[in-house]
C-alpha cells in the first residue's frame, strides 16, 4: 500500500504515526515534512484550505497533521483505521496536533 504522509518532525503525533507505519512491511511511505520545504507546506495548505475533511480539525484549532493520502485517493487523519483492516496487531492511534499553545499535539 502506498501512503503519502504530511507531517513534521517536531510533532509528537507525527513521529508516533511514522514509527507505527515503519512496522508494516507492506507500506510504501512517502513522508512529506511540511517544515522542511515551503513547497511541501504549500501542498499541505492547499489540502487544508480546500478539503472538507479539515473543517472539524480547523474548528478545533488543530493543524491537521499527521495527514495521510492513500493510493486510492482516500484522505484521513487516522491511518491505523486502514492498516487494521489488513493487520490486527496494532492497538494505538496517532492524533492531529493542536495550536492551543500548551505544547501538546
Report the range of poorest mean pLDDT among 19-23, 36-40, 58-62, 81-85.
Answer: 81-85
- pLDDT score, position 23: 83
- The helix (run of H) or strand (run of E) holding residue 46 is helix 38-50
Report whether pLDDT(27) > 60: yes
- Name all domains of the chain by residue range, CATH numbers in brackets: 2-83 (3.40.30.10)
Burial 85-97, CB ≥16 within 10 A → b, else e: eeeeeeeeebbbb
Say what the pTM is.
0.78
**What is the average per-residue pLDDT within 9-24?**
91
Average pLDDT, the chain: 85
- pLDDT score, position 89: 44
Given a contact cutoff of 8 angstroms between Cβ atoms, the answer to whether 81 and 97 are in contact is no
Cα-trace Rg, the chain: 13
Measured CA to CA, the distance from residue 65 to residue 81 in angstroms comes to 16
**Backbone dihedral angles phi then psi of residue 16, each to the nearest 5 degrees:** -65, -45
Report whether pLDDT(104) > 50: yes
Amino acid at each position: 500500500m502506498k501512503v503519502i504522509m504530511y507531517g513534521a518532525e517536531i510533532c509528537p503525533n507525527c513521529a508516533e504515526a511514522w514509527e507505527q507505519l515503519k512496522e508494516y512491511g507492506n507500506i510504501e511511505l512517502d513522508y512529506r515534512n511540511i517544515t522542511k520545504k515551503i513547497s511541501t507546506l504549500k501542498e499541505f495548505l492547499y489540502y487544508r484550505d480546500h478539503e472538507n475533511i479539515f473543517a472539524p480539525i480547523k474548528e478545533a484549532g488543530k493543524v491537521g497533521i499527521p495527514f495521510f493520502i492513500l493510493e486510492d485517493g482516500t484522505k484521513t487523519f487516522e491511518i491505523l483505521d486502514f492498516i487494521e483492516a489488513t493487520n490486527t496487531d496494532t492497538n494505538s492511534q496517532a492524533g492531529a496536533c493542536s495550536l492551543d499553545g500548551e505544547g501538546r499535539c
